[in-house]
């Protein structure tokens, strides 16, 4: 007979530090001691402008298995993520929304290791500085490059179909 899931105190704090001095979060290993609980909310607050996670606050609210929303907000243009707020809303096994917000009117620092697939340049203020975003079709290999408007214009000038 399976055991009933038990609640954990709503303000369980875990202090951790990434010791490598680098501009990338290489690995975050969150180990949960109990197998019958899941995370409802994770609040990561970066207190200083450097490459270290200062505090991880994990609050266990209810027992389910869902990531409903991931909201990542970069407060300043540097190599530090200021706040990551993961809210688990309902029992489901899918990530519903990943939202990345950058400061308006500022380009990202080139040292930030952000894959281009995360930088959806849907508006002008999200462009990552001097680095150019390739068209969506060009990322998936040569077979999808025909969807690129730049390539279509070049073929038209050469008279190719």
CB 100 within 8 A of CB 72: yes
Confidence of residue 6 (pLDDT cuts 50, 70, 90): low
Closest C-alpha to 83, from 117, 46, 48, 50: 46
Higher pLDDT: 136 or 49? It is 136
Asked if residue 44 lies in contact with residue 81, where contact means CB atoms within 8 angstroms, the answer is yes
Q: Which whole-number Å values give the CA distances from 96 to 6, 30, 47, 104, 147, in the listed order?
A: 26, 21, 28, 25, 27
pLDDT of residue 159: 65
- H helices of 5-161, in order, are 149-158
Q: List the structure tokens of 80.
A: 């530090």
Q: Indicate the domain borders of the chain.
A: 13-123, 131-161
Q: If DSSP codes are grouped into helix, strand and coil, which group holds residue 70?
A: strand
44-74: pLDDT as tens digits: 443 333 333 333 444 444 433 333 334 444 4
Please give the residue that has the higher pLDDT: either 60 or 8. Answer: 8
């Amino acid at each position: 007979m399976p055991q009933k899931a038990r609640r954990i105190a709503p303000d369980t704090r875990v202090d951790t530090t990434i010791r490598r001095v680098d501009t990338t979060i290489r690995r975050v290993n969150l180990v949960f001691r109990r197998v019958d609980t899941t995370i409802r909310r994770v609040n990561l607050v970066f207190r200083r402008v450097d490459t270290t996670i200062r505090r991880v606050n994990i609050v266990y609210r209810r027992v389910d298995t869902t990531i409903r929303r991931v909201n990542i907000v970069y407060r300043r243009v540097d190599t530090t993520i200021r706040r990551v707020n993961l809210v688990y809303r309902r029992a489901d096994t899918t990530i519903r929304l990943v939202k990345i917000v950058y400061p308006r009117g500022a380009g990202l620092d080139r040292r930030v290791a952000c894959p281009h697939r995360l930088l959806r340049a849907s508006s002008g203020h999200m462009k990552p500085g001097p680095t150019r975003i390739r068209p969506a079709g060009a990322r998936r290999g040569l077979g999808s490059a025909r969807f690129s408007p730049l390539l279509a214009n070049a073929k038209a000038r050469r008279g190719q179909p």
